[in-house]
Amino acid sequence: MRRPSHIWSTGAATLGPQGPGAEHHQVQVSWESGQSLGEGNERQDEGLRAMNRPGAHTFVLSICVRPNPLQSGSGTSGGVSGRQRARTTVRVFKMAPNSRLRVVVVTLLSDPKESLLFLSAARLVGDLVLVAPDDAALGSWPTDTRVVRLPAVGDSLTQKRLLGLSATVRQLAPDIVHIHGEPWSTAAQHLVGLGLPVVVHGAENLLVDAPLLYRLRRVGTRRILRRVAGYAAWGMSGLLAARRAGLPLTTPAAVIPGSPPDPAIFTPVALRTADPTLRVVAVGRLVREKGIDGLVRAVAGCGGAAAVSLTVVGDGPQRAELQALARSAGVEVTFSGTLTSLQVHDKLADSDVLVAPSVATRTWQEQWGRAVVEAMMTRRAVVVSNCGELPDLVGDPSWTFPMGDVEALAEALMELRDSPTLRRARSDGALVRAAEFHPDHLAGELVSLWERAAARSMT
Query: 3-class SS at 24?
Result: strand
Per-residue model confidence as pLDDT tens digits over 365-379: 999 999 999 999 999
**Contacting residues for 169 by C-beta, under 8 A, at least 6 apart:** 104, 106, 131, 177, 191, 194, 196
Ranges under pLDDT 50 in the chain? 1-95
Q: Tell me what pLDDT residue 20 has.
A: 37
In CATH terms, the fold of domain 278-437 is: Rossmann fold (3.40.50)
Domain 102-260+442-457: give its CATH architecture: 3-Layer(aba) Sandwich (3.40)
Query: What is the rounded CA–CA span in Å between residue 448 and residue 99?
Result: 9
* Cα atoms found within 13 Å of the Cα of residue 307, Cβ hemisphere only: 18
- Per the CB < 8 A criterion, the answer to whether 67 and 272 are in contact is no
- Per the CB < 8 A criterion, the answer to whether 201 and 104 are in contact is no
| Alpha carbon separation from 366 to 219, 260, 266, 369, 370 (Å, rounded) | 22, 15, 21, 7, 10
Q: What stretch(es) of the chain map to CATH 3.40.50.2000?
A: 102-260+442-457, 278-437
Query: What is the rounded CA–CA span in Å between residue 408 and residue 388?
Result: 18
Query: What is the rounded CA–CA span in Å between residue 385 and residue 144?
Result: 41
How much is the pTM?
A: 0.80
Mean pLDDT of the chain: 82
Per-residue model confidence as pLDDT tens digits over 200-258: 999 999 988 888 877 777 888 999 999 999 999 999 999 999 999 999 999 999 999 99
Give the residue among 38, 23, 144, 145 at the shortest CA–CA distance from 92: 38
Q: Tell me what pLDDT residue 220 has.
A: 87
Q: Tell me what pLDDT residue 212 has.
A: 83
